[in-house]
């Protein structure tokens, strides 16, 4: 189900991913996650509204 990503593609994508992850690390510093925010966010939803995947 999860075959390897070919080396050529990995080489191409690695700098893009590194930039994305380092941008996210900077966000984690700007807006620190605390134990109070330990729960995973659940999007707003009305139980009766047919909010199904």
Partner 1 sequence: MTIREAGAALRAGKLSAAELVEDALRQIDRFNPELNAFITVTADLARERARTLDHELSNGVDHGPLHGIPMAHKDLIATKGIRTTSGSKLFAGHVPDYDATVAQKLDSAGAVLLGKTGLHECAYGITSDNPHFGTIRNPWGSSCIPGGSSGGSGVAVATGMVFLATGTDTGGSIRIPASFCGTAGLKPTYGRVSRIGVQPLGFSLDHIGPLARTVEDTAIGFQAMAGKVTSAPRREPLRIGLPENFYLEQVDREVRSAVENAARLSAGLGALVVPVRVPDIEAANQTSLIILLSEAAAAYAPYVERREDFGDDVLALLDQGRMIPAPVYVNAQRQRKLILTEFEKLFSGIDLLYTPTSPIPPPRIGQMEVELDGAKVNVRMSTTRFVRAFNLLGYPALSIPCGFTTSCLPIGLQMIGHPFEDETLLDWGCKLEQALPRVVFH
Is residue 16 within the footprint of partner 1 (CB under 8 A)? yes
Cα separation, 9 vs 30, whole angstroms:
32
Cβ contact 14:20 at 8 Å:
no
Cβ contact 30:24 at 8 Å:
no
Name the token pair of 50: 């047919």
Nearest distance from C-beta of residue 24 to partner 1, angstroms: 6
> How many residues touch partner 1 (CB under 8 A)?
35
Residues that bind partner 1 (CB under 8 A): 1-3, 5, 9-10, 12-14, 16-17, 20-21, 23-24, 27-28, 30-31, 33, 37-41, 43-46, 48-53
């Amino acid at each position: 189900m999860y075959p390897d990503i070919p080396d050529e593609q990995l080489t191409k994508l690695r700098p893009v991913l590194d930039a994305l992850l380092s941008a996210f690390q900077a966000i984690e510093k700007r807006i620190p996650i605390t134990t109070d925010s330990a729960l995973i966010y659940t999007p707003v939803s009305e139980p009766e509204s047919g909010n199904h995947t």
